[in-house]
Each structure stands twice: as structure tokens, then as C-alpha cells.
Amino acid sequence: MNSKFCVDTHSLVWYFLGRKTLSHKAKLLIQAGFTPKATLVIPTLVLLEAFHLSLKQPRFSFPKFVASLKQAHSLVASFDKPTLKNCYKLPPQLNIHDRVIAATALTYHCPLITKDKTLAQQIPVSIIW
């Protein structure tokens, strides 16, 4: 059985960096995304935000991050018409970054791995942390 999980920027970057701020459950699910047991749905915005983080944090290597993702059982989710339509279904107070990530989870019908409590209270998507 293959499960799908959408990942937000912090959860994926924290996994890559081995940060203790990542919950045990989130770590296990992301690890599963490096096997055929699960698929990591990675919004394109997550890649862009990770790149932006790498510009601010020299010890975070974006090329190494991307290389590690090539080992994952993942799908880079484009910002397409269905995702745009799902953006309209979300509360107006969401910022644009959270809106795109949440809309991607809606589009792919999968839970979102995130620590963001505010986001968890505002979107109609299952949250895993």
C-alpha cells in the first residue's frame, strides 16, 4: 500500500538537517517517502522556499538537499489549475505560501505534514505532526 503525504518546507528541511524540532511521527512518515511504501508530495513552492532558506543559512546546501530528494519516492507538484482552484477554497487570512501548500494537499487528497498550528486550525486537510 502506497500512502501520499504532502510536506511543508519546515518539515522537509528539518528532516534533511536532522533537526530535533521534527516530530517523531513526521520523521517516520518522511523516511517512508524514501521507500516504495509512501510518496512525498512536494509543492514547487516548498522547493523555492528551501532555496530561499539556503541563501540565508550557508550550512544548508540546496544542491545537496535536491540531490537527497532524488533518492525519495516523491512527486514534485506543479502549481496547476486544480491547485489554483483549491486556493479559492481556503480561508482569506492564509498567507500565499501556506495557501499554495495547503491547496496542493487538497489537490492530491493527502494529509499535510506540518507543525504550523495556525494552518492546522484553518484548512480542511488532515494535519500530521
Q: Per-domain residue ranges for the chain?
A: 3-128
Q: Beta strands 38-43 and 3-7: pairing type?
A: parallel
Q: Any idea which fold 3-128 has?
A: Rossmann fold (3.40.50)
Rounded to two decimals, the pTM is 0.92
| C-alpha span between 114 and 11 (Å, rounded) | 6
**Predicted confidence pLDDT, tens digits, the chain (129 residues):** 569 999 999 999 999 999 999 999 999 999 999 999 999 999 999 999 999 999 999 889 999 999 999 999 999 999 999 999 999 999 999 999 999 999 999 999 999 999 998 888 888 889 999
CA angle (32 as vertex; 67, 79 as ends), nearest 5: 60
